[in-house]
Amino acid sequence: MIKDSPNPPHHSSYDASLLQEAAYRAINHYLNPESQAQAQAPIDEPTEPPFDGLFTVRADLDAQTLLVNASQDLASINVIAAHLAFEVDGIQRNVALGICRMLEGVQMLVDKALDGCAQTTSK
């Protein structure tokens, strides 16, 4: 049988541990690139304390934008609760209708605040 490549030259002067380290670096580079980027990136101290919550609100948004989004979210939740109220019977229906009524009250408060924002911007 004919080999396509010749035997590698035999060198007794190379260090096998250097080859093994290079092999591990290559494997980590291709299989775990995030750890390499973190290891090489300089570590900067955070300028503000870390946020513990899941969501955050951008600091540059004005009150009117926040109220408009809150109003839309409340309307969506109200529709979901109303739909649920007609899918269930008994006490669960009363609970869902109670949620709808509470949402309508909060919706009215947000709408009133939104009207106040619109009046101050129009003056």
The first and second tokens of residue 21, run together, are: 């380290």
Residue pLDDT, tens place only, 23-79: 778 787 778 767 655 555 555 555 666 667 788 888 888 888 889 999 999 999 999
Residue pLDDT, tens place only, 78-115: 999 999 988 999 999 999 999 999 999 999 999 999 88
Q: What's the rounded Cα separation, in Å, for the pair 110 and 74?
A: 9
Q: What's the rounded Cα separation, in Å, for the pair 102 and 110?
A: 13
- Which run of H or of E encompasses 26? helix 16-31
Once rounded to an integer, what is the mean pLDDT over residues 5-34? 73
Domain boundaries, the chain: 63-122
Say if CB 71 and CB 107 are below 8 A apart: yes
The first and second tokens of residue 55, run together, are: 């969501």
Q: Does residue 108 come out as left (phi exceeding 0), alpha (psi in the -120 to 50 range) or beta?
A: alpha
How many angstroms separate the first and last alpha carbons of the chain? 94
pLDDT score of 72: 92
**Length of the chain in residues, anyone?**
123
